[in-house]
Amino acid sequence: MLHHLAIIMDGNRRWAKERMLPKIAGHKAGYDNLQKMTELCKNKGIKYLTVWALSTENLEKRSPDEVGGIIKLLNSAINLKKKFLSEDIQVQVIGDTIRLPESSQKVLEELMASTSHCNSLTLTIALIYGGQDEIIRGIKRYIATGKNIDDLTTENFREYLDVSILPRPDVIVRTGGDVRHSGFLLYDSDYSEYYFTEKKWPEFDEEELDKVIAYFENCKRNFWK
């Protein structure tokens, strides 16, 4: 059974462009779809949903107006607290979130604290996240402990990564038509299945989610879990 689903939510801007809408309209449509998909995943028995919402590259290369619009959407997530609580959904965040505005950090802290007891589904949002950046930050954390470098292994190093709070992903989905992983969950994805779809994130629906589940159930997985 699919336990941990991870999604690269790509295609918001292209979805908006096709409709001659501003870029932020695409991000808003993607934000609304994430709410729907979170509930659907919970209802289908998926225990962990991890989504890539903002990469380190997005923060550095996209226009201040676009990033500012995404931050506003992020801050509005506090309005979902009652919804998450009523649906027993826990919220977690990974990434270099210290680079977010203080207001956004407070919103995330409140969401995480208030939903920490929920256990029907864990929604993890990757913000200011990059796979290589995560590994570098993990190396710095390990060095800071003063432990002997010779004691470092592939397994105990994982304790210093953002993903230490999560099981390894079973399937990583990328929407929007591009066929690449872009470093998402880089350290943890060596045995993940990949599913690529032409559908842009705002178009990703229950029918496509069911295809992902069916794809995973038909995969032959000859390794430890």
Nearest to 212 by CA among 225, 189, 198, 196: 196
Q: What span, in angstroms and rounded, lies between the C-alpha atoms of 85 and 113?
A: 11
Exposure b/e, 131-161, CB count within 10 A at least 16 = b = bebbbebbeeebeeeeeeeeeeeeeebeebb
Say if strands 121-129 and 48-55 run parallel, antiparallel, or are unpaired.
Answer: parallel
188 assigned to active site: no
58 assigned to active site: yes
Find out whether 132 and 183 touch, Cβ atoms under 8 Å: yes
Q: What span, in angstroms and rounded, lies between the C-alpha atoms of 187 and 158?
A: 8
The single residue of 32, 33, 43, 58 carrying the catalytic annotation is: 58
The single residue of 10, 133, 162, 170 carrying the catalytic annotation is: 10
Query: What are the residue numbers of the active site?
Result: 10, 58
